[in-house]
Structure 1
């Protein structure tokens, strides 16, 4: 599926938002998720030719975080705090693992692996 707008991208996470709200734990995960979406919006608004190379890795990092949350939220064994901790520790290698690399392998030269 091709995503053509920020609205389409964000709406793809509606199911996750609903699950987070149903869990109704501490509210930390809801706040964390919302913070990521706000930061994404701020980064998109500030992107320019001069800062593209600094901002794209941050956008990829947020995308990795949101996708990790999407995967981890399905496991009821994980608390909100555990989901946040795992997300923060693993997001920088998310695409590497998603593409079949193990953590010790050197990746191809690609923007996809330039996450911050």
Structure 2
């Protein structure tokens, strides 16, 4: 059974991904910190009464962070291009990860309901 990931481990995973790539990544670090702040705010307010509104936003931040960590591996993409692609594609990230295209009908999973 896999060990549960802590908040610190989760956040560090993305910081390390940027640091590993090297080069000028100030803009991406700012974007990363903005997403971390949003995640912090969302996780602080999530409750039984607002779960269905807040959880899709948490999934959206997670998709943005994960997509960014994948895209920075491509040296030919500028920081601006990485952020633009992330902002354009994060909503369909989990859908495509599961093998669906953007227009396919999916099962009624919460991971396909990203905000």
Number of equivalences: 114
Please, which runs of 5 or more residues in structure 2 have no aligned partner? Answer: none
TM-score computed with the length of structure 2 as normaliser: 0.91
Indicate if the aligned counterparts of 1:101 and 1:107 stay in contact, CA closer than 8 A. Answer: yes
Equivalence map 1:6-85=2 (5 Å): 6-19=7-20, 22-25=22-25, 27-85=26-84
- Runs of 4 or more above 3 Å deviation: 1-4
Mark the CA change 1:77 to 1:13 in structure 2 (over 3 Å): closer, same or farther. Answer: same
Cα RMSD (Å): 1.5
Gaps of 5+ in 1: none
TM-score when normalising by structure 1: 0.90
8 Å contact from structure 2 (residues 18, 69) kept in 1: no
**Does the 8 A contact of 1:19 with 1:73 survive in 2?**
no
